[in-house]
Structure 1
Amino acid sequence: MAQNQQLGKPAGVVHNHPSGDPSPSKQDIEITRQIVEAGKRLGIGVHDHIIIGAQGHSSLRAQGLL
């Protein structure tokens, strides 16, 4: 993250759901909020949070959750 801060580039968050369902859970939404807040304190933007599962992927930004 420090390298991103020096370059002025936003960070992205990606993780998988072993269950296969890429829908964001309440915990995913909450941790994303916490990551965004921490990034603000460090001067790092969060571009998106992508969740990958066997059934596809989801973007918290596309869903208006970021």
Structure 2
Amino acid sequence: LLPILSAYSARFDLTDQSLNTPVHLAARLNQGKSIKFMIQRGGTMKTKNADNQLPIKIAKIFKNKNA
């Protein structure tokens, strides 16, 4: 799905109402390959959400080692 979204110029740096990016959500769901894909296409690990959490913090909270 990510390659299709990317082909249509999807932005991986946008946030939702809680300021989560797609990278935050992928970190929560232990989607390491998806995170790498998004970072290569404009996503970032440096954006904090409304709870002041980086994606790496989300991964640690959910004990996701692949994220």
TM-score (norm 2): 0.33
Identify which of structures 1 and 2 has the higher relative contact order when contacts are C-alpha pairs closer than 8 Å and 6+ apart: 1
TM-score (norm 1): 0.34
Higher helix share: 2
Larger radius of gyration: 1
